[in-house]
Amino acid sequence: MFLGGLEMCIGLLIIMPRWERFTILLLCVHMATTFLPFVFLPGYVWQGTLTPTLEGQYIIKNLVIIALAIGIATHLAPMRKR
């Protein structure tokens, strides 16, 4: 439930101007926790060789979200020196 709520918050924050950097930070934390089953629970993620389960498909779709974050991060203006 927590990760689902965090994912919804990330989705809402990504469309708000000036919150992009904070959103990408939240996204990095979320992705780190989401990809842990690949390492610790591979039986739940894969049915066979390169055949993901439903949970595995959910985790793999996050690669699209990572590509979105990289695209947004490349178009951000550099932070001003304080």
In a domain, 15, yes or no: yes
**Would you state the torsion angle of the CA atoms of residues 7, 10, 12, 18, taken in this order, to the nearest 10 degrees?**
180
Residue 21, domain extent: 2-74
In a domain, 82, yes or no: no
In a domain, 23, yes or no: yes
In a domain, 28, yes or no: yes
In a domain, 9, yes or no: yes
**50-72 pLDDT tens trace:** 899 999 998 899 888 899 899 98
Query: What DSSP designation does 78 have?
Result: P
In a domain, 81, yes or no: no
**9-56 pLDDT tens trace:** 998 998 898 898 899 999 999 998 889 998 999 999 999 988 999 999
Q: How many domains does the chain have?
A: 1
pTM of the entire predicted model: 0.75
